[in-house]
Amino acid sequence: MKFRHFGILFSVVMLLSVPAYALDLQQARTSGLVGETLSGYIAARSDAPEVQALVAEVNAKRKEEYTRISKENNQSVDVVAKLAAPQIINGLAPGIYYQAPDGNWKKR
């Protein structure tokens, strides 16, 4: 079981190193334009087209990785994503938004 969690954590860390965009994930996070959700994906906190594009790109890459992990561990993609979410949220720098269980945005 520890190996599975390590594998998930390693994969999540790899997902967080997204290639440079006009707006990258770290910039969007520190600017408060996106936040981490309990579903294991990011959500836009802005309607700006570049933010929406970044969210779509990051979430597509995460889903691809979650799918790979789910097949290796015989788990659903949703289970893998939800297991990754707290690991991502707990690793956020102070001041980064995440979605609390009540649905409200909070800063780490």
**How far is Cα of residue 89 from the mean position of the Cα atoms in its chain?**
8
The answer to whether residue 19 scores a pLDDT higher than 70 is: no
pTM for the model stands at 0.79
How far is it, in rounded angstroms, from Cα 9 to Cα 84? 7
Residues of the chain above pLDDT 70, percent = 80
**Closest to 12 in 3D by CA, of 76, 73, 61, 74:** 61
How many domains does one find in the chain? 1
Please give the residue range of the domain that contains residue 50: 2-107
Nearest 5°: the CA angle 21, 11, 51 is 25
Higher pLDDT, 23 or 78: 78
Question: What number is the average pLDDT over the span 37-43?
Answer: 98
